[in-house]
Structure 1
Amino acid sequence: MPIYEFKCADCGKVFEELVFNRDECPSCPECKSTGTEKLISACKFKNGGSSDSRDMGAPAPSAPSSGGGCSGCSGGNCSSCG
């Protein structure tokens, strides 16, 4: 079941909602307005078995100069490496 992002035309609130019908536009949780529109969200992807997910079109992070990481990853950029 897809989760879509919506924006309220009345109050400007951006929110996520689980919808069963792709044409459905739920009411705003902030002001209860039915004047909401579906937003186009940034795509995420998983590349080559790596655990790195990032926005499409965003530049790839540079590789760590040490060439390693912690025992929990190979990227050297996770929260447990600090």
Structure 2
Amino acid sequence: MPIFEYKCSDCGHEFEELVFDRDECPPCPKCQSEKTGKLMSAVRSKIAGGASAPESGGGDTDAGSSFSSSSPCSGCSGGDCSNCG
């Protein structure tokens, strides 16, 4: 179940909501208005070493920047073990 970001047209409140139907727009938790709309969000994912990086493929990061493919611990090689984190 994805978490989407919404904005209320009446009061301007921005909020996140876990929804079952991706076309559903939940009411505003602040003013209870039904006039809410889904916002566009940046997609992020976790990579080896616990850092996160944008998935967009463009922007201000390049392949050789500060992200490392080696693990920060000696317990694994992918940054996905009980010692990492």
Distance in 1, Cα, partners of 2:53 & 2:18: 22
User: How far did 1:51 drift?
Assistant: 1.8
Aligned equivalent of 1:21: 21
TM-score by length of 1: 0.64
Aligned equivalent of 1:7: 7
Distance in 2, Cα, partners of 1:39 & 1:10: 15
Distance in 2, Cα, partners of 1:50 & 1:3: 24
SS of residue paired to 2:50: coil
User: How far did 1:2 drift?
Assistant: 0.5
RMSD, matched Cα: 2.3
Aligned amino acid, residue 50 of structure 1: G
Count the aligned residue pairs: 64
User: How far did 1:58 drift?
Assistant: 4.9
Percent identical pairs in the alignment equals 52
**Unaligned stretches of 5+ in structure 2?**
67-71, 74-85
TM-score by length of 2: 0.62
Which portions of structure 1, spanning 4 or more consecutive aligned residues, are displaced by more than 2 angstroms?
Answer: 54-60
Aligned amino acid, residue 20 of structure 1: F
Distance in 2, Cα, partners of 1:45 & 1:35: 30
Aligned equivalent of 2:30: 30
